[in-house]
Amino acid sequence: MASASAASAAAAAAAEWEEAERKVLVARKPAFGLPTACPACLPVLLYLRMAQVPFDIHVDTSFPDADHIPYVEFGDCVAFNNEKGGVIEYLKEGKIVDLNSKNPSSSNPDMLSTKAMISTWLSDALQYELWVVSDGSIAHDIYFSDLPWPIGKILHWKKTRDVKQLLGITKLNAAEKDEEIYQKASAAYDALSLRLGDQAFLFDNSPTDVDALLLGHALFVLNVLPETSVLKGTLQKHDNLVNFAEHLKAQFAASSSGLGASPDPSSSSTPRKRASSGRSYKPKPRAKKERTEEEKTFRRRAKYFLATQLVAVLVFLSLMGGVDGSELDDDDGIDYED
C-alpha cells in the first residue's frame, strides 16, 4: 500500500515537472567565480545543467544556516536538500531527471562505491577545511556576510562545533583525526584519478550524478579554498582531475550558461514560500501593489528572524556562562572584520 502510494506520488511529481512552465533552483549566492559558492548547491546546479534542464536561479540569504537549501521548485512541488536523500536523489528516484538512466554502468557497483567515496571521505575533508582548519573568512563570505557581525560570528562558532562533533574531533584526538581525514581524501583522489583516466567523464564518457558530485567538489576546492589548503594541494597532484574540472567548468559552471540563468540580484531580498513534507506552492504573478505588501511581510519576517537569532544567542551565552569571549576566539580561531 505504501509502495503504491509512493509510486503514485512520484508519477504525479514527474507529471508536474513536465507541465511546469518554470523550474527554479533556490541556492546560495555566487562568489569566487562560481554560479553558487555553496558546496551543497553547486552539484545540484551542475546536475541540472548536465541534464540540459532550463531553470532559473534564485538566491536565498534569509536562512544562512538552513539545511533545506538548495531546493528546486517546479509547479506545485518542491524538492528540498534535507528530504528524501537530497534534490538529486529525489529527481532520480522519481524518474523526473535521471542522468544515469541511459548510462550502461548505472548498475555497476563501482558507481555506487565511487559516489559513496565522494559523499563521505571528500565531503568530510571539505567540511573539515571549511569549518575547522580555515580562519573562517571563506565560510563567512558564503553563509553569514549578510548578517550582523555578532550573529554571524556565533552561528559560525556553532557550526564549527557541530562539524567537530560530526567528525568526532576532540582536543585529545585532533592531530590523529587530521591525519585520518587527509589520508582518506588522498586515497579518494587516487581512486578517482585512476577511474577517470583520460576519459571526459567517470563512466562510459557520459555524465552521471557522480560526475556532478565530483565536479562540484573539485570546483569548490580549486576556486574557493586558499593556496595553503592541504586538500587543494592534494587534488592538484592529479592533473587529470584538475583538467576534468577546468574543462567542464566552462561548459557547465559558467554564469552565462544558457541552462540556468544567472542569479537574480533581487531574489536575495525576496522571501520564497517554504513547504514541508512534499507540500509546496505555485508562484503566481502579483500586481505591483501586492509586491509592496510582500516587501512589508518580508521585513517583518527578517526582523523576526534576527530577533529569534538574538534570543538564541542570549540563551546560549547564559547556558554557557563559563565560556568567556576570549575562549570562544581561541578555540576556533574566528576573526571577522567589522
Give pLDDT tens digits for 217-243: 999 999 999 999 999 999 999 999 999
> Considering only CA atoms, which of 123, 122, 320 is closest in space to residue 238?
122
pLDDT-derived band at 205 (thresholds 50, 70, 90) equals confident
Task: With a cut of 80, say whether residue 308 has pLDDT above it.
Answer: no
Q: Which residue has the cell 519576517?
A: 301
**Alpha helices (H) along 262-324:** 288-319
pLDDT-derived band at 116 (thresholds 50, 70, 90) equals very high
The answer to whether 131 and 329 have CB atoms below 8 angstroms apart is: no
Chain length of the chain: 338
Task: With a cut of 90, say whether residue 288 has pLDDT above it.
Answer: no
Q: Using alpha carbons only, what angle is made at residue 221 by residues 217 and 226, rounded to the nearest 5 degrees?
A: 165
- Read off the pLDDT of each residue in 164-171 and give the average, rounded to a whole number: 97
Q: Using alpha carbons only, what angle is made at residue 300 by residues 296 and 305, rounded to the nearest 5 degrees?
A: 145
For residue 89, list its beta bridge partners: none
Residues near 270 by Cβ (< 8 Å), separated by ≥ 6?
58, 294, 298
Q: Residue 317: what pLDDT?
A: 54
pTM of the model: 0.78
The answer to whether 218 and 241 have CB atoms below 8 angstroms apart is: yes
Residues near 138 by Cβ (< 8 Å), separated by ≥ 6?
130, 224, 225, 226
Distances (CA, A) of 208 to 115, 220, 225, 286, 323: 10, 19, 25, 38, 47
The answer to whether 251 and 259 have CB atoms below 8 angstroms apart is: no
Question: What value does the mean pLDDT of the chain take?
Answer: 82
Q: Please tell me which of 139-153, 184-198, 300-314, 316-330 the model is most confident about, judged by mean pLDDT.
A: 184-198
User: Could you tell me which residue, 293 or 54, shows the higher pLDDT?
Assistant: 54
> Which of 64-68, 153-157, 220-224, 282-286 is predicted with the least confidence, judged by mean pLDDT?
282-286
Task: With a cut of 90, say whether residue 23 has pLDDT above it.
Answer: yes
pLDDT tens, position by position, 62-82: 887 789 999 999 999 999 999
